[in-house]
Amino acid sequence: MNPEQFSTAVLEWFDRNGRHDLPWQQGINPYRVWVSEIMLQQTQVSTVLNYFDRFMAALPTVQALAQAPEDEVLHLWTGLGYYTRARNLQKTAKIVVAEYGGQFPHDVEKLVELPGIGLSTAGAIASISMGLRAPILDGNVKRVLARYTAQEGYPGEPKVAKQLWANAELYTPHARVNNYTQAMMDLGATLCTRSKPSCLLCPLEKGCQAHLLGLEIRYPIPKPRKSVPLRHTLMPMLANREGAILLYRRPSSGLWGGLWSLPELDDLSDLEHLAAQHSLEISAPQPMDGLVHTFSHFQLAIEPWLVPVQESAHHVAEADWLWYNLATPPRLGLAAPVKKLLKRAADALNAGELQ
């Protein structure tokens, strides 16, 4: 297929079979498209649906996001992972309000200058909400193009990425770019899937080189595998008489930056020192079922302990530490495994398991 035939086939398929009722396709504006694109990075559409609606209900405009407390933004993001995305959202919102009068710049190059907006996300914002001709290359589109051209090499390699971008530019039409952009994402998400692609239903079947070779699953070429290291940490859940758990806010940079988390210890013998820091008297720690949390570059094995504590009369609350009331939890950004552990602690306390 030539580029015009390619885009025509994709658009005709989209008109008949594309997704037209996603929340961010309603009331389209740059803010809604931008938030949805950031949420959808490395996250399934089915997961994002509820998060997007809640986020928009709480922070319906870029001005509302810019003015919101960071804890509220991280709370709304809790469970989506990759929390740098949420912090960059707010950074960008503040820049858009302060430097662009609350209007996103109608220019891909200027969009890319904003925190957390890469070239593909900028292209999606520009094409879907502004009607500008701008190619995109998210994971779904990358897979479609890599298969269609039987692109050799791992897409993360610069020369391979350059070729894929060249093809993305080549096939992007000059008309209906908003629909074409959504169509390409839909094609990758619904037909040209990682495993068991529905080639017989695909509008690009006749020109797809991977399909003609019978090698659809070979493309895109996967990243060379490396062993994922396993790290260990001990997380004590210090529970006071009111059934609240001691949490601390992590530094703004690094792992779980800006989120509230449980203390981390190398060994249970370090518990006395932690308790002394907060003028707490501890009772017998009780082990709880551990869990393993997977990050992009390592796995973290968490060993949780539920620890009854009594506060001293001389206890003074420290900055970046708080007692998290399990019965009426505050709206805070929590790391996903910490949220799970707090739920387990609440269940144990309600069941009277704390001695």
Walk along the chain (355 residues) in steps of 10 and give the mean pLDDT of each run: 96 96 94 97 89 97 97 93 92 98 97 97 97 96 98 95 98 97 96 96 97 96 88 95 92 88 93 91 92 91 94 70 92 92 91 66
The pLDDT value recorded for residue 296 is 81
The pLDDT value recorded for residue 225 is 82
Residue 182: alpha-carbon gap to chain centroid: 19
Evaluate whether the domain defined by 3-218 bears CATH number 1.10.340.30: yes
DSSP state of 269: G
Answering whether pTM is above 0.75, one says yes
The residues near 202 (Cβ < 8 Å, ≥ 6 apart) are 13, 187, 191, 192, 208, 211
The pLDDT value recorded for residue 305 is 95
Answer whether 324's CB lies under 8 Å from 332's CB: yes
What is the CATH superfamily name and number for domain 230-350? Answer: Nucleoside Triphosphate Pyrophosphohydrolase (3.90.79.10)
The pLDDT value recorded for residue 317 is 62
b/e 99-133 (16+ beta carbons within 10 angstroms → b): eeeeebbeebeebeebebbebbbbbbbbbbbbebb
Among 76, 66, 169, residue whose Cα is nearest residue 120: 169
The pLDDT value recorded for residue 293 is 93
Q: CA-CA distance, 62 to 90, in Å (whole number)? A: 9
Radius of gyration (Cα) for the chain, nearest Å?
A: 24
Provide the β-strand partners of residue 183: none
Question: Which positions are annotated as active-site residues?
Answer: 37
Domain ranges of the chain: 3-218, 230-350
- For 272, list phi and psi in degrees, rounded to 5: -60, -40
